Structure 1
Amino acid sequence: MIETIAEKKQFYRNMLAFAIPITIQTLITSSLNMVDSVMVGQLGVESIAAVGLANKINTMLIIILQGFATGAAIFSAQYWGKGDKTGISKVLMITFAIISSVSLLSMILVVFNSNSIIGIFSDNSSVIVLGASYIKLISFSYLFTGLTILIQVVLRSMGEVKSPMYINIFVIVLNTVLNYIFIFGNFGAPALGVEGAALATVFARVIQTMLLFLLIQKFGILTELKRLTAKEIFDVTLIKNYLTISIPSVINHVVWTVGEMTFFWMYSLMGTDVIAAITLIDPLVFIFMATFIGISDASSIMVGNRIGASQKERAYLYSRRFLFLTFILSICAAFGVILVSPLFISLYKVTDTVAGYASSVLLIYALIISPKFLNMVNNMGVLRAGGDTKYVLYLDLLGVWLVGLPLAALGIYLKLPLYIVFALGNSHELVRLFFGIRRTLTKKWLNEITNTTEKKIDSHY
C-alpha cells in the first residue's frame, strides 16, 4: 500500500497526539509508586526492600486487572473505528463487573494474610513487619486502581488522552504532598513512615477515580447504558467474544507476572542488598519504559481503529512503521540509561555494595533495551490490536518459562555475579523478538473481532 506525503504526516500527527500524553500519563501513574520509593528511600535499606516487595505484589494484581482491561481496550478501539458507541458502553460494564470482583477479593486476601505474603519473599523480620503494614493499607486502593485502569483504557481507545493526563498530573502532585506530610510527620501530622506512604497513595487513587468517572460521563458512554436493559448490556454473545479475547490476555498477564515475581524471588535468594538494588532501579527503568508504553498504546489504538474500520492493509502499514520507530528510539534510550545511571544512583542513601549492584544491572538493561521495547510495541500493541492474544500468550510462555527463568536459575546455582544472572534472565527477549516479528509479517493477526454496528459516531483516526 502506497501512502501520500499528506497521509504520512497525518500518521505522525496522530501518533504523537496519542503517544506524548500517554507517555506523560504513564510516567505520572508510575510515579505514585515511584514517589513512595524515593521518599521511603530516605528511611533506609530495610524500608526500601519492604516497600519494594509490597509493590511487586501490588504490581501482580495491577497486571492481572490490566489483562481484563486489555480486552476492553481491544474491543473499544475496534468499536470506535467502526463507529459503535453502544458497543463500547457494553464492554465497559462487562469489564467493570469483573475488575470490581477481582479487586475486592484481592483486598480481602491481603488484609488477612499480609505477613504471610511478604514472608514468602523475605526472611528478614523487619522487612516483613514493614512490608506487611504497607501492603495492608495499600490494599484498600485496589478497587480504585482497577477502575482507573479500566476508565483510562476506554478513554484512550476513543482518542481521549489529554484530559486523563491532566488528572494524573494533579493526582501525583497531591500524592507527593501527602507523602511529605504522612511519611515524615510534617504540618503537625504523625510520622508514619512506610504506612504514611501507603495512606497517601490510597487517598490519591480515590481522588483519581472520582475525577475519571466525572470525565467519562461527559462522553456519553454511561448515557448509552440508560436505554439498554441488563440483558442487552450483558449480552451473552458479546461476553463470549470478550472472554475469548480477554482470557488469554489475563492468563498471559498472570503467567508473565508470576514469572516476574519468580525472577524477583530468585534475586531475593541472593540477599537483601540485591533486593534493594533491583528495587532501586525501578524508577529509572519506568522513565524510559514510559515512552515505549506510549508508543505501544498508540499503535494499539491506531492499528485497532483501522482494523475496526475494515482497513487491514493500512493497519499493517501502521504496524511496520511503529516497529521501525521503536527500533530507532530504543537505541537512543540505551545510551540514555548509560548516561543517567550514575546520577540517579547517587540520589539514594545506600551502601557502596548496593550502588555497585544497581550500576551493573543498569548496564545490562541498556544492552537488552532494544529487543525489550520492540517486544513491548509488537506484542502488546500491534498483535493484540488484532485480537491475537493467544499467540502473545504462547510467546511469553516460551520466553519466560522455557528460556529466561531456567537460565537465571542456572546462574544463581553456579553463584555467578548479579549482572550475569540478570542478563541470563532477560535473554528471553531475543527469543520472543524473533517469533513475534515473524508473526507480524505473516498478517495472520489482522482479525476484525467486532461485527455489529449500532449508532455511528465520528472516528478521527
Structure 2
Amino acid sequence: MNESKKEYYQKMLYFTVPITIQLLITSSLNIIDSIMVGRLGVDSIAAVGVANKFSQIPTVLFQGFASGATIFCAQYWGTKNKSGISRSTIFVSAIIAAFSLIFSLITQLFSPYIIGIFSSDRSVQEIGSHFLSIIGYSYLFTALSMIFVVALKTTGEVRRPTYYSVLALVLNTFLNFLLIYGNWGAPKLGTEGAAIATLISRIVQTALLFNLLVRKQFITWRIIKENLDVFRSTLSKDYIRITFPSIINHATWTVGDTVYFWLYAKMGTDQTAAISMIDPIIFIFTCVFAGISDASSVMVGNEIGANRKEKAVQFAKQFIKITIILSFIIGILIILTLPFILPLYKITSVVATLVHSLIYTYVIISIAKNVNYINNVGILRAGGDTKYVMWLDTLGVWIWGLPLAAISVYFHFPLYMVYFCANSHEIIRAILGIKRTLTQKWVRNIVEPQKVEA
C-alpha cells in the first residue's frame, strides 16, 4: 500500500469508526425502543411512526443548516483557523435555535391536525398527537446538538461526542423501560413515556456537548460576546449564499419524503406500521454509511481548505469505491438476519409479510441509495457544490419519484412496488452524481485566506 492510500485509510478509519460505533449503538437502542413501543400494538407503531415522520421535517431542515456548518468548519480547520470555527458555530446555532422554536410551537398548537393528515384511525390520532406534542419540546436540543457535533468532529474530536451520544441513548432506553411500562414504581405512560425519555436524553446530550465546546475554548461566553458582529459579517453572507441551496434541498427532500409517507399511510394502518418499522431495522446495518459520509465531508473539506485539490478528488473516488463494495456485503447481511429480528415485534402475519417484501426491495436499490448518501451529502457538498445537489435531489424526488409513487398507489400496486417506484430516483441520481464528481467542477475553496476572519 502506497503512502497516499495508507494516509487515506488511517484518516477514514479515524473518523468513520467512532461515528459508526456511535450510530451502531444508536440504531441498536432505537430497535429496542421500537420493540418497546411495538409491543403496545400496531396502532402504537403506526402512531409513533406518523409522529416521527413529521418530526423528520424539522430534523432534516436542521441537517441542512448543519451541512453548511460542516462545509465551513471543515475548510476552516484545513487552514487551522479556530476563530473561524467559533464564529461559524455561534452564527449557525443562533439561526437553528430560532427555527427549532418555530417548529416546537407548531407541534403544541396543531398536533391533532398533523396526525390527522396521515391517518383517519381515531386511536392512531389520539396516541400520535400526545406523542408529538411532547417530542416537539426536544427540537431545540436536537438542533443545537447537531451543530455542536459538527464543530467538534471537523476538528478531529469524534470520540467524546460518541461517548456522550452513547450515554444519552442508554439513558433514553432506561427511561423507556421505566416510563413505557411503569417498571420499578414509575408511572405507566405508554408512548408518552417514550417521548419524555427522548426529551430528557436530548437535553443531557446537548449539555455535555456544549460543556466540551467550552472546555476546548471553541465557545465561551467571552467568545460569544466578542463575536456578536458575526451576524453582519462576510462569513454570515457566505454561509447564507452557500448553505441556502442545501437548506432548500433538505426542505424539498423532507416534504417529498413526507408525501411519500402520506401515500403509504393512505394504503392502511398495516402498511403504515410496516413502513414505520423499516428504518430502525435497516439502520443497524447501514449506520456505517453515515460514518463514511461524515468522514468524507471532513476529509475532503479539509483537503480543499488546504488547497490540495488532487488529494481531495482522490479521496472522493476512494470513498465511492468503498461504498459500492460495502453495499453488496451489507445487503446480504440484512436479508440473512431479518428472520431473527421480526419475531421480536408484536405484529400480525400480514405486517410481517409486508416488512419482508419491503426489505428485499430496499436491498435492490441500496447501492444507489448509499452512493448518493456519501457522494451527494458528503463529497459534493464538502466542495460547496450545494446548488447542483439541490437540483439533483429535488428533481429526482418531485419529477420522478413522487409521480411514480402516486400512480402506483392509484392503481393499487402492492406496497413493495409502491416503495420501489418511490425510490427508483436513487438510481438516476447516483449515475448523475458520480458523473459530477468525476468532472471535478465541484471542488471549490470557500474560505480562501482573504475571507478568513479573525
- In the superposition, the TM-score normalised over structure 2's length comes to 0.97
Contact 1:75 1:91 in 2 (8 A): yes
> Aligned residues: percent identity?
49
Matches within 5 A, 1:341-352: 341-352=338-349
- In the superposition, the TM-score normalised over structure 1's length comes to 0.95
Contact 1:225 1:233 in 2 (8 A): no
- Relative to structure 1, the CA distance from residue 187 to residue 90 in structure 2 (aligned partners, 3 Å threshold; closer, same or farther) is same
Contact 1:185 1:192 in 2 (8 A): yes
2:278 matched to 1:284?
A: no
Whichever residue aligns with residue 361 of structure 2, its letter is I
Whichever residue aligns with residue 19 of structure 2, its letter is I
Shift of 1:223: 4.5
Matches within 5 A, 1:96-107: 96-107=93-104
Select which of 312, 320, 342 maps to 2:317: 320
**Alignment: residue pair count:** 453
- SS of the aligned residue for 1:234 comes to helix
- SS of the aligned residue for 2:242 comes to helix
Task: Tell me the equivalent position of 1:424.
Answer: 421
Matches within 5 A, 1:211-222: 211-222=208-219
Whichever residue aligns with residue 355 of structure 1, its letter is A
**1:39 & 1:295 partners in 2: Cα distance?**
30
**2:221 & 2:196 partners in 1: Cα distance?**
36
2:305 matched to 1:308?
A: yes
Select which of 325, 328, 332 maps to 1:331: 328
Select which of 126, 130, 133 maps to 2:127: 130
Matches within 5 A, 1:74-85: 74-85=71-82
Select which of 55, 59, 80 maps to 1:58: 55
Matches within 5 A, 1:128-277: 128-223=125-220, 226=223, 229-277=226-274
Whichever residue aligns with residue 395 of structure 1, its letter is L
Greater mean deviation of Cα atoms: 73-82 or 338-347: 338-347
Greater mean deviation of Cα atoms: 195-204 or 5-14: 5-14
Whichever residue aligns with residue 412 of structure 1, its letter is V
Contact 1:31 1:172 in 2 (8 A): no
Contact 2:253 2:397 in 1 (8 A): yes
- SS of the aligned residue for 2:83 comes to helix
2:85 matched to 1:91?
A: no
- SS of the aligned residue for 1:180 comes to helix
Task: Tell me the equivalent position of 1:448.
Answer: 445
**2:20 & 2:135 partners in 1: Cα distance?**
25
**1:227 & 1:259 partners in 2: Cα distance?**
37
Contact 1:118 1:128 in 2 (8 A): yes
Whichever residue aligns with residue 99 of structure 2, its letter is V
Select which of 109, 112, 123 maps to 2:109: 112
Task: Tell me the equivalent position of 1:397.
Answer: 394
**1:244 & 1:455 partners in 2: Cα distance?**
17
Greater mean deviation of Cα atoms: 21-30 or 374-383: 21-30
Task: Tell me the equivalent position of 1:459.
Answer: none
Contact 2:230 2:236 in 1 (8 A): no
The runs of 5 or more residues in structure 1 that have no matched partner are 457-461
**1:41 & 1:181 partners in 2: Cα distance?**
16
**2:108 & 2:239 partners in 1: Cα distance?**
31
- SS of the aligned residue for 2:257 comes to helix
**1:391 & 1:242 partners in 2: Cα distance?**
17
Shift of 1:279: 0.7
Shift of 1:7: 2.6
Shift of 1:225: 5.6
Contact 2:29 2:170 in 1 (8 A): no
**1:232 & 1:32 partners in 2: Cα distance?**
42
Deviations 1:305-337 (A, max 9, x none): 000000001100000011001110011011111
Whichever residue aligns with residue 401 of structure 1, its letter is W
Deviations 1:9-33 (A, max 9, x none): 1210110110111112233445665
Greater mean deviation of Cα atoms: 18-27 or 378-387: 18-27
Contact 2:294 2:378 in 1 (8 A): yes
Shift of 1:413: 1.4
Contact 2:131 2:195 in 1 (8 A): yes
Whichever residue aligns with residue 402 of structure 1, its letter is I
- Relative to structure 1, the CA distance from residue 188 to residue 228 in structure 2 (aligned partners, 3 Å threshold; closer, same or farther) is closer
Task: Tell me the equivalent position of 2:33.
Answer: 36
Whichever residue aligns with residue 220 of structure 1, its letter is Q
2:36 matched to 1:12?
A: no
Contact 2:28 2:284 in 1 (8 A): no
Task: Tell me the equivalent position of 1:299.
Answer: 296
Greater mean deviation of Cα atoms: 240-249 or 302-311: 240-249
The runs of 5 or more residues in structure 2 that have no matched partner are none
